[in-house]
Amino acid sequence: MTSLFYSPGEAWASTFQSPVSWAILILLVVSSIYITSYHSPPRHYPPGPKSDPLIGNLRQIPLEHQERTFSDWGTRYGDVVYARLLGKEMIILNTLQAARDLLEKRSAIYSDRPRSVLLEELMGWQDATTNMRYGPRFRKHRRFAQQTFNRGAVRSYQPLQHQEMGILLNSFASDPTSFVQHFRRYGAATIMKITYGHDVKSYDDKFVQLAEKAGTATIEVGTPAATLVDFIPLLKHLPSWMPGGGFKREARKCQALVQAMIDIPFESVRDSVINGNAPPSFTSSILKSYCKSGEIKLPIEDERDIKGAAGTLYAAAEDTTVSTLTTFILAMVLYPEVFKKAQREIDAVIGRQRLPTFEDVGTLPYLDCLVKEVYRWHPPVPLGLPHRLMADDIYDGHHIPKGATVLANIWGMAKNCQSPDTFYPERYLEDPELPDPHSFVFGFGRRICPAITCS
């Protein structure tokens, strides 16, 4: 769920394996000729790389690490770059200033999401907060999340986080080589408890495995841009038995797994609320407001929203937690002098008789810089999630068209410093003006990750 944007890879290429697919391509070519002939972009659009006829800049975007290419474009063309991909308009924001100017200060028109036929309409993620179009339902989901991650609620989670960290450290001691699996259990245990009140004892937990299967299936089917269906929505009506329609069979399998991941934990909490033994959680607190005389009367739309918001909290939080902790381990292995310096600070301030706690925040300046550097060195979501512009706009003298997909190149913003590829926490002590990566790696404006207060 963290990668929802353009990555024209093998799934896209495999679409052209049949006469039917080639016929569709020819239709696309003819349509594109019309578009490029009669609707070519005006000269006052932001600068960008020259595009090819018909396919736009598709050939120039690599299969992996698109953020690096976009940063190169930023160096060549400027903070705001215009590109096309099979008739879809893209705006790439390569600087923190541009992202804040547009995605935050003008969030009223920059907070939508582009339509994703594959992810939402075929694979079952239509109720996920992250993918939801901007409007009343999205605002409802945000209210749910803000109740869960307001400052008072976040403080109440600290004992849980401290407890789970102790379990994580014991797991390292008993089996250090399985650190990624330990991270996954830790991330799942914390957010599962917050979201569903469920205790995760091991990585083999049934709810954790449901989510893992759904996530794996989502990746294997491919990102929305990996097939033509997001560029030609009519393809979703192509029978799955026809040549070129195989992606629909895989999408249906994924949809069943996604639905199970969303439904099964929810139903477990619902039963607990009815029986009067539900532990405190995001889901139970909402369901209790609908419970009267031992019965939950829940409108279908509200049920979908609660399920979708809860599933999003789990899927997004677990993924970014594992990514960040794995980056930390990599940095400590590659830069042992940083590890030793952080250890010396902890020993000097706290001693060796206990572990750091939340009460120690603010007393360990080097460790604080180290955490900032982890986020900067390898942001968990390098391109963030795509925004969609809801109205024509003007920025820095350039026209930005309504309907354009807007990307914040978070990776490029994080690399805007001296020796960007070096893991060097001291940079924040030497230059207090450097922006805190925590302020931008979790997104912008009304689409910022609601769990940022808990990270």
- The 3-class secondary structure across the chain, one letter per residue, is CCCCCCCCCHHHHHCCCCHHHHHHHHHHHHHHHHHHHHCCCCCCCCCCCCCECCCECHHHCCCCCHHHHHHHHHHHHCCEEEEEECCEEEEEECCHHHHHHHHHCCHHHHCECCCCHHHHHHCCCCCCHHHCCCCHHHHHHHHHHHHHCCHHHHHHHHHHHHHHHHHHHHHHHHCHHHHHHHHHHHHHHHHHHHHHCCCCCCCCCHHHHHHHHHHHHHHHHCCHHHCHHHCCHHHHHCCCCCCCCHHHHHHHHHHHHHHHHHHHHHHHHHHHHHHCCCCCCHHHHHHHCCEECCEECCCHHHHHHHHHHHHHHHHHHHHHHHHHHHHHHHHHHHCHHHHHHHHHHHHHHCCCCCCCCHHHCCCCHHHHHHHHHHHHHCCCCCCCCCEECCCCEEECCEEECCCCEEEECHHHHHCCCCCCCCCCCCHHHHCCCCCCHHHCCCCCHHHCCHHHHHC
Q: Tell me if 449 is assigned to a ligand binding site.
A: yes
Environment class of 222 (CB within 10 Å of its CB; exposed 0-12, middle 13-18, buried 19+): buried
Dihedral over Cα of 317, 319, 325, 331: its sign: negative
Residues that constitute the known binding site for heme? 449
Residues that constitute the known binding site? 449
